[in-house]
Amino acid sequence: MGAPPTPAGVGGALPALQDRSLHRTRVRHRFARGGMGSPPLLVTWAGRAPRAGGEPFQVDAMPARTPAQRSALVTGANRGIGFEICRQLAVRGIRTLLTARDERKGRLVAERLRREGLDVRFHQLDVTDEGSIRRLVDFVGSDPGGVDILVNNAAVYLDDGIAGLEVDLDTVRRTVEANVYGPLRLCQALIPLMRRRGYGRIVNVSSGSGQLSGMGGGSLAYRLSKAALNVITRVLADEVRGTGILVNSMCPGWVRTEMGGRHAPRSPEQGADTAVYLATLGERGPTGGFFRDRKPIPW
């Protein structure tokens, strides 16, 4: 998405006003942190229109209300890709709720981001626990800021290197509980809140392991769960079409995380990029798609 054209007078001479009233316009402003992805400013021009050669207007800048009101919820965010998604969203001026199953670890990393000057809060969440999800939804529902963006990042990979003929059903059940039922429960709980606001962005962090077009053997539980997550994306995107809510899946690639291992070629920053791109799509952005490196990929 390109930045909107800069109004006349911003960064140069201010235009003359036709009356004494206040004139306001939103413009993009480069911050030291976040660049063009940072929130717009609200620029106020006040006073009488000057005569030729007169004194310029005094300009007061303050954060614009609309971007500041955007809020995000990221699951499984105490490390790796989820943590980096939180950081990148917060740098863009989005109020971010970092969630994690381990409360101690989650609070520590949220505090780390707050020390960087970022608006990040923490709430405990175990996506496999209905009570935990209910407490989170109650917390979000009582917050006037609500949730505009949901990033379903929390996942488990319990059958790495195990053949489909050998994986036990308990492993399959636990994988599907975390990677499929958890995101579905959160979507079902939070989409009604998004509908009321007329805006929503849902990003399901999937995997190339769930692509039917190139699927091979092994890791049946994980592959099954990510393919099912893509089904959730397609179904919900169609059901909320036209409501201002966009739903997409993304593959971060092979990333150096606890799950991906230290030999993976991609950094967490690179892995988070497409999720943040989809989380901040404009109103005419795509929905119901599967993306890697900001580009559509086959299912």
Residues designated catalytic: 222
Q: Is 204 exposed, middle or buried (0-12, 13-18, 19+ CB in 10 A)?
A: buried
Place of tokens 């990029």: 273
Quickly count helices (H) and strands (E) in the chain: 8, 11
Amino acid at 278: L
HEC letters along 193-250: HHHHHCCEEEEEECCHHHCHHHCCCCCHHHHHHHHHHHHHHHHHHHHCCCCCEEEEEE
Helix, strand, coil content of the chain in percent (nearest 5): 35, 20, 45
Say if strands 200-205 and 290-292 run parallel, antiparallel, or are unpaired.
unpaired
